[in-house]
Amino acid sequence: MANECSLYYKRVFQALEVGDGKEAERIFWAGILTGICEQVMMRVKPAGMVTAQTEKAEQIAAIVCDVYQLHCMRLDKPTGGYEIWVCRLDDEETTAALAQLKTGRLDWGQYHALRGRLCGYPEEAIRHYTDGVWP
């Protein structure tokens, strides 16, 4: 089974040795979300997301999205939990694709392929993920 990005995030978060845990969490999420918002704002990719399921990540996402004038939304995952998504409100195609993720009508491969495209991954990387050979 392919690894999810959240496994890598957790490793980085654990490796941060900045003050107390709350300070490290704040710095970590601010950095991740700023990078995502920068790419979305500059149209490097249509959307971005994190699989963070913490109140702090949601709060920081709202702050960073406000600075970049982007839309931030919370989408429930079909397998449980949720993701925090960022997109441009003037991008109707991306907004429609995110609404499609919400429906729960996509099979596993379709769901993850759409997520990958929204996050700007090349088709080869999406295929590797859906085939289970992600690093």
135 residues of the chain, pLDDT tens digit each: 345 666 776 677 677 766 666 777 788 888 889 999 999 999 999 999 998 777 888 999 999 999 999 999 999 888 888 899 999 989 999 999 999 998 878 888 899 899 999 999 999 989 888 887 665
Is residue 48 situated within a structural domain? yes
Distance from C-alpha of 43 to C-alpha of 46, rounded to nearest angstrom: 6
CA dihedral 124, 125, 126, 131 (to 10 degrees): 90
The answer to whether position 91 is within a domain reads: yes
133 domain-assigned: no
Give 95: exposed, middle or buried? Use CB within 10 Å, 0-12, 13-18, 19+: middle
Beta-bridge partners for 121: none
pLDDT at position 113 is 92
Q: Would residue 131 count as lying in a domain?
A: no
What is the pTM (predicted TM-score) of this model?
0.82
Q: Tell me the two tokens of residue 126.
A: 């999406």
Q: Read off the tokens for 21.
A: 């845990």
- How many independent structural domains does the chain possess? 1
| pLDDT for the residue numbered 2 | 44
* Nearest residue to 118 via CA among 110, 108, 3, 25: 110
User: What is d(CA 19, CA 115) in angstroms, rounded to the nearest whole number?
Assistant: 34
Quick one: pLDDT at residue 52? 75
Q: Is residue 34 part of a domain?
A: yes
Virtual torsion, Cα 25, 28, 33, 38, nearest 10 deg:
150
Give the range of the structural domain holding residue 114, as residue numbers without chain letter. 5-126
Examine residue 135 and state whether it is found in any structural domain, yes or no. Answer: no
Instruction: Tell me whether residue 114 is in a domain.
Output: yes
